[in-house]
Amino acid sequence: MRILTLTIPTEYDGVQIKSVLRKHFGLSSALITALKTADGITLNGVHANVTEKAHTGDTLVLRIYETDSENIVATEMELDILYEDEDILAVNKPAGIPTHPSIRHYSDTLANGVRYYYKDLPFTFRAVNRLDKDTSGIVLIAKNRFSSEALSKQIREKKIGKAYLAICCGALPAKDGIVNVPIARDEGIIKRRIDEAGQYAETHYSVLAQAEAYTLVQAEPITGRTHQIRVHMAHLGAPLYADFLYGKEVPGSRTMLHCSTLTFLHPLTKKKMRLSAPPSPDFELLKQKLFQ
């Protein structure tokens, strides 16, 4: 359960509670409806209706209850936790671990490990950003419905910034650039392709290091299309190292892509957050080998 408390400021004097919930906390109509329980909303310690008016100095308390994620088993797993508070959890996901369970990965995903971490509490797994199985780096998790709504809104409004490190095979056309070619689903379920009839996709990139046949890149996807960085780098003639789907077969156990930085506004405090995660050992080892 997440408890939110607000001492009503002067600006909300005489304002209905439902307006305070929308303006101050940014709650959706669905979450406001869910709060209409015996103790979901109290004003000065007494159950309150959302149509009641609050006044300066009143104490408004919200109690947001959680339910358990269905069909996610708790699996003991070592988590590399970058940040945690009452509303969010950020984890540095290693390569080789999917974010969500599937038919082939029922109990060995990040969701299973996080569920075990909160095994003594009602908990629903809500990943704000999702990384592919072979991509390492930051995964931000909303710990309650309140933070999930706030961060999902930031995703829709493109207010969450993501930066990736990528090792590419080949050279890019410029030291800095923008790729804004559309992406569509290819034949089958997984693969994507460049297609003028596809969805708009935009990636900004900067070259960090250049070797004879390889390039170290920082890529910032502005949109969030499936395989966006992989497709865009391949389109420029520099597919990611060991990306067998869009590039050439080179020695390597996984595609060299790492989510290194995430920026967003904290769902409650609205403070700007910047989280960083160091590359995984295999990424760092290859980087040192190719760009020494």
Residues annotated as catalytic are: 132
Task: Provide the H-helix boundaries in the chain.
Answer: 17-23, 29-34, 110-117, 145-156, 228-235, 281-291
Q: With contact defined as beta carbons under 8 Å apart, do 183 and 231 qualify?
A: yes
Q: With contact defined as beta carbons under 8 Å apart, do 252 and 214 qualify?
A: no
Strand boundaries in 25-101, DSSP class E: 41-43, 46-47, 53-54, 59-64, 81-84, 88-93
Q: With contact defined as beta carbons under 8 Å apart, do 147 and 27 qualify?
A: no
Of residues 141, 144, 149, the one with CA closest to residue 22: 149
Q: Which residues contact 260 (CB under 8 A, 6 or more apart)?
A: 137, 138, 163, 164, 165, 218, 276, 277, 278, 279
* Whole-number Å distance between alpha carbons of 32 and 117: 29
- Helix, strand or coil, per DSSP, at residue 266: coil
How much of the chain is in helix, strand and coil states, percent to nearest 5? 20, 30, 50
* Whole-number Å distance between alpha carbons of 255 and 227: 11
* Whole-number Å distance between alpha carbons of 36 and 72: 28
Of residues 279, 284, 186, the one with CA closest to residue 227: 186
